[in-house]
Amino acid sequence: MENVSQSPFIEKVGLELQRAERYSIFISLTVLDLSFLNQIPEDQRTESLQTVLDIVNRNVRAIDSVSVMDQHQLGLLMPETSRQGAETVVKRIVSLIKGQLAKESRLEVGNVIPLQMASFPDTAGAKPIRELLQGWSDKNCN
């Protein structure tokens, strides 16, 4: 990952993970799959993506970071947040996204918005967060 041209978000995740490891504090990273936006007519997709971003940004703290990693993934970094805390936040955000998109574009997102979540410290340690970062780095370089 060191040799890879990194986005500011990926760099921030890496720095926060180092801080979490050094000081034994919580950090959680969640990736929401936004591919459901492909069901929306193309001319409305940008507006719907902005709606999603607005909802996320209104429902996270100032220390949290949000980034669209590609057109189908949204990364949410929550420093000093346990996995349980992250699950609570993400559950609320997903519910708000589904409700707002159903109202605005009459899009039924479905029962589940696919997501990946990794936290430190966790049973697998920092490895899942590093794997998510490497996956994004690989996509950005190709």
35-47: pLDDT as tens digits: 888 888 888 888 8
CA distance 37 to 61: 25
Phi, psi of 6 (to 5 degrees): -110, 150
Ordered by start, the domain boundaries in the chain are 8-141
Please state at what angle helix 42-58 crosses helix 83-105, rounded to 10 degrees: 140
* 8-141: CATH architecture: 2-Layer Sandwich (3.30)
pLDDT tens across 50-103, in order?
Answer: 999 999 999 999 999 999 987 688 999 999 999 999 999 999 999 999 888 888
pLDDT tens across 98-132, in order?
Answer: 888 888 777 666 666 888 899 988 766 567 788 87
Confidence of residue 26 (pLDDT cuts 50, 70, 90): very high
State the pLDDT at residue 4. Answer: 39
